[in-house]
């Protein structure tokens, strides 16, 4: 499969190269969740997925790189009670949503004709090692929007996730203010630009997509996002709860190109259920509706 971010830089390398953090005028309260209204839609289509394990013979050994991307159907069945995801179609040659750096686009889905959805995971409170294994097992692309306040006690956890090669890391502010529209331009800029510096320092990445905490933003947010060098604001169509998704329409079904919101949550937030159990439930719903999971960074 295609690596969402092929250059998995070492966190430690960048810690040496990059020094301090941005000045932060705001150190507001943070919330453990970012449930909120979803935003406006915009544009697209297809990406990558795991490759179902093929029978191997001694005469035709799998190349190492290919072997690493083989999904083990038996393992998924025994460990999660699930099957491999359908392979996503090849990504479009031209991105379905063209982001304008001069006016960061807000989107909550991607125009698509194929049955693909995008899985995004926010915040960072729960850090379940078993979820890292789950990412390696399913090999589907995930987009993580991380807030420094919620990850700083264990940056290495997300480095391990990043180094699986199946996740991209995007920006979710430094302190996770749920009321960004109530902040000044400079405060909002500090939240966004400050997190750019921290994510670069820790993971060597430069996010281009911003997810506002709680989905709350205004035009000042957009201006801050632009000033910080990001190009898009990503909302969502469905939000994963413990057992099922909160759908935006009464039909209660996924639609092609939908962006699904999840959170790094564990037993404390999930009434005793684990992150892996929640994600297993999500994956079951996606598979039951016949969707593949694609990489939003190849469409936007
Ligand atoms: Zn959040």
Say how many Å lie between the CA of residue 241 and the centre of ligand 1.
14
pLDDT reading at 25 higher than 70: no
64-68, 74-78, 134-138, 157-161: the lowest-pLDDT one = 64-68
Say how many Å lie between the CA of residue 9 and the centre of ligand 1.
25
The per-residue pLDDT for 62 is: 45
**67 compared with 53, residue with greater pLDDT:** 67
* Closest to 1 in 3D by CA, of 116, 118, 89: 89
CATH of 43-52+67-298, one of 3.20.20.370, 3.40.50.300, 1.10.540.10, 3.30.9.10: 3.20.20.370
Say how many Å lie between the CA of residue 87 and the centre of ligand 1.
29
pLDDT reading at 220 higher than 90: yes
The per-residue pLDDT for 65 is: 47
List the domain boundaries for the chain: 43-52+67-298
What are the residues whose beta carbon lies below 5 Å from ligand 1 (ion)? Answer: 34, 122-123, 213
Distance separating alpha carbons of residues 152 and 160, to the nearest angstrom: 14
CB 122 within 8 A of CB 211: yes
Say how many Å lie between the CA of residue 56 and the centre of ligand 1.
43
Say how many Å lie between the CA of residue 149 and the centre of ligand 1.
11
Say how many Å lie between the CA of residue 150 and the centre of ligand 1.
9
The per-residue pLDDT for 70 is: 87
Q: What is the pLDDT of residues 268-296, one digit of tens each?
A: 999 999 999 999 999 999 999 999 999 99
Say how many Å lie between the CA of residue 263 and the centre of ligand 1.
7
The per-residue pLDDT for 151 is: 98
pLDDT reading at 12 higher than 80: no
pLDDT band at 67 (very low <50, low <70, confident <90, very high): low
Distance separating alpha carbons of residues 57 and 47, to the nearest angstrom: 29
* Top mean-pLDDT range of 19-23, 43-47, 87-91, 121-125: 121-125
pLDDT band at 56 (very low <50, low <70, confident <90, very high): very low
Say how many Å lie between the CA of residue 121 and the centre of ligand 1.
9
Q: What is the pLDDT of residues 234-269, one digit of tens each?
A: 999 999 999 999 998 888 999 999 999 999 999 999
Say how many Å lie between the CA of residue 201 and the centre of ligand 1.
21
Residue 247 neighbours by CB distance under 10 Å = 15
Say how many Å lie between the CA of residue 125 and the centre of ligand 1.
10
Say how many Å lie between the CA of residue 124 and the centre of ligand 1.
8
- Three-state SS annotation for the chain: CCCCCCCCCCHHHHHHHCCCCCCCCCCCCCCCCCCCCCCCCCCCCCCCCCEECCCCECCECCCHHHHHCEECHHHHHHHHCCCCCCCCCCCCCCCCCCCCCCCCEEECECCCCCCEEEEEEEECCCCCHHHHHHHHHHCCCEEEEECHHHHHHHHHHHHHHHCCCCEEEEECCCCCCCCHHHCCHHHHHHHHHHHHHHHHHHHCCCCCEECCHHHCCCHHHHHHHHHCCCCEEECCCEEECCCCEECCCCCCCCCCCEEEEEECCCCCCCCCCCHHHHHHHHHHHHHHCCCEECCHHHCC
b/e for 108-140, b at 16 or more Cβ within 10 A?
bbbebebbbbbbbbbbbbbbbeebbebbebbbb
Say how many Å lie between the CA of residue 151 and the centre of ligand 1.
12
The per-residue pLDDT for 128 is: 97
Give the chain's mean pLDDT.
84
**65 compared with 25, residue with greater pLDDT:** 65
Q: What is the pLDDT of residues 125-172, one digit of tens each?
A: 999 999 999 999 999 999 999 999 999 999 999 999 999 999 999 999
Mean pLDDT on 16-30: 34
Say how many Å lie between the CA of residue 127 and the centre of ligand 1.
15
Distance separating alpha carbons of residues 40 and 271, to the nearest angstrom: 31
Report the DSSP beta bridge partners of residue 260.
119, 238
The per-residue pLDDT for 20 is: 34
Say how many Å lie between the CA of residue 146 and the centre of ligand 1.
8
pLDDT reading at 298 higher than 80: yes
């Amino acid at each position: 499969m295609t690596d969402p971010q092929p250059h998995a830089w070492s966190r430690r390398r960048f810690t040496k190269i990059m020094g301090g953090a941005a000045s932060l005028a705001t150190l507001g309260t943070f919330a453990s969740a970012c449930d909120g209204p979803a935003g406006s839609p915009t544009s697209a289509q297809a990406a990558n997925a795991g490759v179902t394990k093929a029978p191997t013979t001694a005469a035709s050994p799998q190349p190492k790189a290919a072997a690493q991307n083989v999904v083990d159907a038996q393992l998924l069945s025994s460990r999660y009670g699930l099957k491999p995801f359908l392979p996503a179609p090849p990504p479009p040659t031209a991105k379905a949503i063209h982001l304008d750096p001069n006016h960061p686009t807000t989107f909550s889905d991607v125009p698509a004709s194929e049955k693909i959805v995008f899985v995004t995971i926010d915040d960072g409170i729960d850090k379940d090692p078993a979820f890292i294994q789950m990412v390696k097992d399913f090999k589907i692309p995930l987009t993580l929007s991380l807030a420094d306040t919620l990850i700083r006690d264990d940056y290495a956890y997300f480095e391990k996730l990043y180094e699986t090669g199946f996740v991209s890391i995007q920006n979710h502010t430094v302190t996770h203010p749920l009321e960004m529209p109530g902040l000044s331009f400079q405060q909002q800029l500090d939240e966004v630009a400050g997190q750019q510096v921290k994510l670069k320092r820790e993971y060597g990445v430069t996010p281009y997509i911003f997810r506002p905490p709680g989905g709350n933003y205004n035009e000042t947010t957009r201006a801050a996002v632009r000033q910080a060098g990001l190009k898009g604001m990503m909302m969502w169509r469905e939000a994963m709860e413990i057992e099922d998704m909160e759908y935006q329409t009464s039909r209660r079904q996924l639609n092609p190109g939908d962006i699904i919101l999840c959170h790094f949550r564990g037993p404390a937030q999930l009434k005793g259920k684990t992150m892996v159990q929640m994600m297993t439930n999500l994956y079951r719903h996606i598979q039951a509706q016949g969707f593949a999971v694609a990489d939003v960074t190849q469409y936007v």
